[in-house]
């Protein structure tokens, strides 16, 4: 697929749902749930009818066999390479390796598996030529740094039996990539209860801009930075939902006021108005929201995010009772390479060193060590460690 079209499709949302009044949804969904529970049904017969144990056992048997699973991987790579033909450099490599490698010796079990797959009557089972438009190499956003659901350390009582706490909302956050402002990339996914606030959503969102150290200014000049361990919070925030700007209310003039003032100065035709409540006082249940519609969020001066609702549902008996907001997904942070060797990720930010071509300059450990300490004692060189990331 053409990369321009691919990035455009990845940055689009929709189709959007109708406007959902969360309070009305909660009351109607709970009433419907109670009426379904009162029906005389046999759960054993339903479980037997919906059972997929036969399919599960066959799939488990195939994937537990190294020989059969290797055959499936190899067949998939060959099929993808043949779909792309000579249009992709990656496809060329895969196709060349598939052709030049030694012939695969199929044993009896492999032949039986291939025969079973070929006999599937479903027409869409095999990859058609049009499938090339929907295949691509994995991106950074396709990986999840979380190995388990991450709970939040909050003092809020999330075990309440109120109606609002029985509704769960799944949010996905997106950000603009550095190399093209029109392209969006997924950054995280969270589950909140309808009884929680927009502020709770903002506080749980990870963002690398929150890790920028605070500047130490003397006489109008930056003389250093405060070292921080992890994210230190944001200097302000505003989120726009249904034409209303919700600020954080932490200052007398918050981001919502500044946004309205900016729209007036630029003579914008946008009809955005400041909301009566702040984001920390606005519960999700008090809003009318839409699924697959991006809501705009701004913080740290010029860091923009788009928040999209993926799902609104009732809480299930197997859902966690406490620990909300939950974090289901968090994309790996893009690490900057060393500006000297351009081979490994940088770990130091060097400010004010005249020997370097830029200030600040990002260097890896070996490159900074090989340079040695500055020889000019009059230089005010600041060495700041970059944030470290780990799997959860």
pLDDT digits (tens, 9 = 90+) for 254-287: 899 999 999 999 988 888 999 999 999 999 999 9
**Cα–Cα distance between 295 and 289 in angstroms, integer?**
10
Kindly report the pTM of this predicted structure: 0.77
Q: Which helix (H) or strand (E) holds 352?
A: none
**Cα–Cα distance between 328 and 149 in angstroms, integer?**
5
Number of Cα atoms under 13 Å in the Cβ half of residue 105 = 0
According to DSSP, the residues that pair with 289 across neighbouring strands are 20
**Cα–Cα distance between 309 and 2 in angstroms, integer?**
28
Sign of CA dihedral 37, 41, 43, 48: negative
Q: What tens digit of pLDDT does each residue of 39-88 get?
A: 766 778 888 888 888 888 888 888 899 999 999 998 888 888 887 764 44
**Cα–Cα distance between 361 and 215 in angstroms, integer?**
16
**Cα–Cα distance between 26 and 32 in angstroms, integer?**
10
Nearest to 299 by CA among 208, 217, 191: 208
Contact between residue 314 and residue 343 where contact means Cβ atoms under 8 Å apart: no
Tell how far CA 251 is from the center of its chain.
Answer: 29
**Cα–Cα distance between 302 and 320 in angstroms, integer?**
35
Q: What tens digit of pLDDT does each residue of 297-336 get?
A: 999 888 899 999 999 999 988 899 889 999 999 999 888 8
Among 92-101, 239-248, 284-293, 339-348, the minimum mean pLDDT is found in 92-101
Residue 49 has what pLDDT? Answer: 84
**Cα–Cα distance between 241 and 171 in angstroms, integer?**
14
**Cα–Cα distance between 45 and 306 in angstroms, integer?**
45
Confidence grade of residue 376 (pLDDT, cut at 50, 70, 90)? low
């Amino acid at each position: 697929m053409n990369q321009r079209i691919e990035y455009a499709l990845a940055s689009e949302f929709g189709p959007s749902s109708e406007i959902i009044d969360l309070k009305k949804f909660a009351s109607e969904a709970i009433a419907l749930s109670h009426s379904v529970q009162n029906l005389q049904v046999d759960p054993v017969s339903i479980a037997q009818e919906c059972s997929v144990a036969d399919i599960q056992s066959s799939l488990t048997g195939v994937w537990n066999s190294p020989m059969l699973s290797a055959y499936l991987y190899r067949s998939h790579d060959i099929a993808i390479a043949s779909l792309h033909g000579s249009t992709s450099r990656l496809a060329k490599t895969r196709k060349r390796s598939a052709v030049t490698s030694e012939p695969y010796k199929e044993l009896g079990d492999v032949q039986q598996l291939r025969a079973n797959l070929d006999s599937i009557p479903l027409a869409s089972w095999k990859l058609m030529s049009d499938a090339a438009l929907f295949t691509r190499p994995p991106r950074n956003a396709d990986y999840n740094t979380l190995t388990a659901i991450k709970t939040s350390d909050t003092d809020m009582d999330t075990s309440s039996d109120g109606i609002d706490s029985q509704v769960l909302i799944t949010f996905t956050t997106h950000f603009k990539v550095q190399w093209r402002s029109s392209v969006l990339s997924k950054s995280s996914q969270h589950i909140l209860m309808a009884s929680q606030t927009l502020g709770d959503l903002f506080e749980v969102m990870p963002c690398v801009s929150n890790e920028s150290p605070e500047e130490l200014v003397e006489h109008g000049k930056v003389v250093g930075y405060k070292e921080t361990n992890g994210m230190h919070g944001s200097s302000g925030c505003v989120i726009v939902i249904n034409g209303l700007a919700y600020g954080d209310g932490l200052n007398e003039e918050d981001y919502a006021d500044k946004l309205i003032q900016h729209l007036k100065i630029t003579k914008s035709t946008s009809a955005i108005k400041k909301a009566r409540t702040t984001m920390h006082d606005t519960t999700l249940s008090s809003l009318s929201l839409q699924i697959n519609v991006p809501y705009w969020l701004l913080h740290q001066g010029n860091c923009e995010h788009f928040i999209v609702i993926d799902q609104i549902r009732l809480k299930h008996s197997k859902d966690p009772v406490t620990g909300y907001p939950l974090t289901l997904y968090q994309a790996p942070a893009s690490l900057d390479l060393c500006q000297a060797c351009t081979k490994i990720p940088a770990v130091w930010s060097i400010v004010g060193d005249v020997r370097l071509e830029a200030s600040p300059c990002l260097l890896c450990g070996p490159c900074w060590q090989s340079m040695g300490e500055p020889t000019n004692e009059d230089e005010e060189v600041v060495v700041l460690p970059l944030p470290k990331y780990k799997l959860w």
